[in-house]
Amino acid sequence: MAQPKPRIKAFVWDDLFLAIHWDRLLYGFDITVQHGDAGIFTLPPPGASFPAIGAAIGSSQIRGFTLKPEPESGLIEVVLEVTYNPNEESLGLTDQLEEAKRWVADANELVRRVRERKQQSSS
């Protein structure tokens, strides 16, 4: 049985990172501005005070961010396309389409800039 997709409460723009807040966890996902590394978090196990990292994703593993309709709920899903199986990670569902479009565009631009910077530094 597949895990239910989290509901997005807010999209966050910060000087150091872009993030998505889930309805049941403050930071469900974040990506750093400097290095483009990302983390998907899970709810903390019973007795723990901090969330666990569900996936640590290097910038070289990120293909990009997309939006796709989620027919069952009528919401939009924010998807992180990655180089490893299953080739995508769900970042949650939202009804905030315009904000999601802006966040996805900014996240894709961030990844592009990080790749460009890494390419220049290795030349």
Tell me if 14 is assigned to some domain. Answer: yes
Give whichever of 25-29, 96-100, 112-116 has the largest mean pLDDT: 96-100
Range 80-83, long-range pairs (CB < 8 A, 24+ positions) = 80/29, 80/38, 80/40, 82/57
Q: How confident is the model at residue 1 (pLDDT cuts 50, 70, 90)?
A: very low
Number of independent structural domains in the chain: 1
3 domain residue, yes or no: no
CATH number at residue 75: 2.30.29
121 belongs to a structural domain: no
- Please give the residue that has the higher pLDDT: either 65 or 31: 65
Which residue range forms the structural domain that includes residue 56? 8-116
Helix, strand, coil shares of the chain as percentages rounded to 5? 25, 45, 30
Tens of pLDDT, residue by residue over 37-89, are: 888 876 665 666 655 667 788 888 999 999 999 998 999 999 999 999 989 98
- pLDDT value of residue 106: 95
Q: What is the pLDDT of residue 93?
A: 95
80 in any annotated domain:
yes
Do 68 and 57 touch, CB atoms closer than 8 A?
no
What is the DSSP track for 17-29?
EEEEEETTEEEEE
- Rounded to an integer, what distance in angstroms lies between the CA atom of residue 38 and that of residue 74? 27
